[in-house]
Homo-oligomer: A and B are copies of this chain.
């Protein structure tokens, strides 16, 4: 397609190069659904089925799968087991990714105990905090160590992914330590924009921002309903915008 970059390149390299970011995110979703389908005993899925179950347009799904050098069978669909295997390979789930979690507060605790990680190929290999009450204890069998140990411990245990769940003020400092330790992919839960070198990939999960986006849509919907009905009505925004009887606080 684009053109063969080099003649003798492994198929591993060939497939991985040019997958759009947006597709990668969906591949993970397909993979999860395929896991469920496999458990239910399904042997094949059509793009329509899988697309329906994952809330995606079938054409988009087929294009996504075509990026990984697809293994579909025309007239039939995709073989579930084979597709699972290809997706896992593409997403780098064939070699385990050791994860370090920094910040064992409310959220950190929850993340440390979250089944979705260890269960699905992301063993939490290290926990860090600065609180003396936390350093030294074990969570889910993992020792909480002091943040200053990050460079040593991460290097030792081959940590490839860091998760930051600290308060915002210290997140950048923690990030710098992780980068120093050679961690090049970071999942940031702290409400700050991290500054990192180009070679480091940061993804952000920002709960406050998510809520604000939804708040925007609440406002949009209120205006929409206020605008549809009233053309005749004068000022129909009445109870909609400010009609919250009595909130809990």
What residues of chain A have their CB less than 8 Å away from a CB belonging to chain B? 12-13, 16, 19, 24-25, 27-29, 31-33, 53-55, 90-93, 95-99, 106-107, 109-111, 113-114, 116-118, 120-126, 142, 156-158, 160-161, 184-187, 191, 193, 195, 199, 201, 203, 205-221, 223, 227, 239, 241-249
Bound-complex Cα distance A12 to B113 (A): 44
Q: What's the number of copies of this chain in the assembled complex? A: 2
Chain B hits for A111, CB < 8 A: 207
Closest to A118 in B: B249
- Contact A214 B96, CB 8 Å, known A106-B110, A227-B13: no
The smallest beta-carbon distance between A237 and chain B, in angstroms, is: 9
Distance of A125 Cα from B106 Cα, bound (Å): 19
A213 touches B25 (CB 8 A): yes
B109 touches A208 (CB 8 A): no
> Would you list 17 pairs from A and B whose C-beta atoms are within 8 A, ordered by A residue?
A25-B213, A29-B209, A55-B195, A93-B215, A96-B247, A98-B247, A106-B113, A122-B208, A123-B249, A124-B248, A125-B248, A142-B248, A157-B247, A160-B218, A185-B215, A199-B221, A205-B210
Q: Is B16 in contact with A223, judged by CB distance below 8 angstroms?
A: yes
